[in-house]
Amino acid sequence: MKRNCLIYILFTITLLLASCRSQPDYVIDKERMVDLMIDVHKTEAVINLNYSSYPTDEKKRALRKAVYMRHNVSEAEFDSSMIWYGHHLDVYMEIYDEVIKRLKEEDEEIKKLIAEENVQVLTLEGDTVDIWKDERWHIFNPNKGENIWAFSIDKDENFKRRDHFTLRLHTLNTPSTGEPITLYLAARHSNQLIHYNSATIQEGWNTIKVQSDSINNLSEVYGYIAMPPRKHPHIMYIDSIELIRIHNHSSMPIEKFNAITIENKKKEEKKDKTEKKAVKQNKEKHSREILRNKITTKKLNLKDKE
């Protein structure tokens, strides 16, 4: 009797576990999700590397919509599926591993074709390569003290002055309340000059860019994501991490990304204000002296007349 009861309990637990992991009808199945995510990655790369072709959000949305239509799904269905997979991370990582594997295979095939044809493929704005070498995903789990994710990439012989760097990543289960989550990207140079940029993390795709200096040599590219502490711990996922380096001779407006330039400009403005104030004070002092001399002279004249 006890044995039958134990078998029944084990069978019930098995059914419960299976029901917890069962995939709802609205979720895109794994095989279709792999194909869709591959095309999504390619689409985002096209948008990111062809700024002039997709300058507005409307054009970007139109291209993304075309991808969803090709796979016979809506953006809402894709988002809902991503949320479900985000709560079943082991299944999601299986999908993502397959996506990365397929993309790498396609990349290797393209390289072979290029070698066979002896043709060099360039993007619109110069030589482009993904220099990211670490894991393509990360979990922010405050329960384990994982509130900050940071990275640093040292220069190599392929780094050049004026290189553009674009960090792209996808976030899932991003907190909608509390202090904003900061995304930071910086380029440090041999003389400690720093060009940087920062942004607030949003749910979905996030992109941040920075350009290295045109005069000083680059020493490293680094950055981080910082999630401020919350009253209730919140788990957030990031995936699809890539850091695109573009060799480019055209220049972006770098002054706003340059911490030292900004600080020097503030000092110069303060110096100008001080100098202008001193000149004004000297003029006022000189005017007072002239007026005082006039009054003294007038008094002496009056005294002589008396």
**63-72, 109-118, 180-189, 233-242, range with the lowest pLDDT:** 109-118
The whole model's pTM is what?
A: 0.54
Among left, alpha and beta (phi > 0; psi -120 to 50; other), residue 197 is beta
Using the structure block, give the residue that is written with the tokens 């009253």: 231
pLDDT at 230 over 70: yes
For residue 55, name the pLDDT band (cuts at 50, 70, 90): confident
Q: Tell me how far apart the 2 most distant CA atoms of the chain are, in Å.
A: 137
pLDDT at 303 over 70: no
pLDDT tens, position by position, 114-131: 455 444 333 334 477 888
Contact 19/70 with Cβ under 8 angstroms?
no
Segment among 12-16, 198-202, 227-231, 270-274 with least mean pLDDT: 12-16
**Res. 248: pLDDT tops 60:** yes
What are 136-166's pLDDT values in tens digits?
Answer: 888 887 666 667 889 988 888 888 888 889 9
Confirm if 73 and 36 have CB atoms less than 8 A apart.
yes
pLDDT of residue 137: 84
Average per-residue pLDDT in the chain? 75
Query: What is the DSSP code (8-state) at residue 245?
Result: E
